[in-house]
Amino acid sequence: MESGRKQYRKEAHNAFQLARETVADFTQQAEANGFSLEANLDYSEGAEVANVHVDEEAFRRALRNLLDNAMKYSPDCRTVWVDGSIEDHQVLISVRDQGMGISAEEERAIFEKFVRGNAAKRAGIKGTGIGLAMVQQIAVAMGGEIRLRSEVGVGSTFTLVLPLADG
């Protein structure tokens, strides 16, 4: 991906539908680990126009990584929330947890390859530190970005932001 050799097959998809399907596919894994997923990705106001041009496999891989991370870094609260909205001609898919959170000093670096938060290392949580770098690369390749809002001891919200498809 990083070298630019990965060829994405971008096609029109309803982002909320694709996210709902991904959450449904991930539910068994979540439940096996004692977690529940709460998704607010229904066809509410604006949902009918939540069309984006994405590579379906890459979109699903990015969302699964965010779901997996939310579970991995939330040892106490066993619920993960997935929300969708449309703002400023963009579709936002957010994954929120009430886990350990990420310090402000680490927020920018957390998207670099092989970087893991200090709290995660202290807690002995396994990982390679490449998942969020991959999510960021996928988001950028789809014309979007990944946003992070986090507070240590409160939790994190990662938001995949993708431009609405024209027309």
Three-point CA angle 66, 54, 18, nearest 5°: 60
Alpha-carbon gap, residue 165 to 167, rounded angstroms? 6
pLDDT in tens, 100-111: 999 988 888 888
Residue with tokens 């390749």: 141
Instruction: Measure the CA–CA gap between 148 and 107, rounded to whole angstroms.
Output: 7
Domain ranges of the chain: 10-163
Q: Which residues contact 20 (CB under 8 A, 6 or more apart)?
A: 39, 41
Low-confidence ranges of the chain (pLDDT < 50): 1, 3
Tens digits of per-residue pLDDT, 29-62?
Answer: 999 999 999 999 866 655 557 899 999 999 999 9
47 by Cβ neighbours in 10 Å (0-12 / 13-18 / 19+) ranks as middle
Record the pTM.
0.89
CATH numeric code, 10-163: 3.30.565.10
Query: φ, ψ for residue 162 (rounded to 5)?
Result: -130, 140
**Which tokens belong to 155?**
């939790």
Query: The tokens of 163 are what?
Result: 């431009």
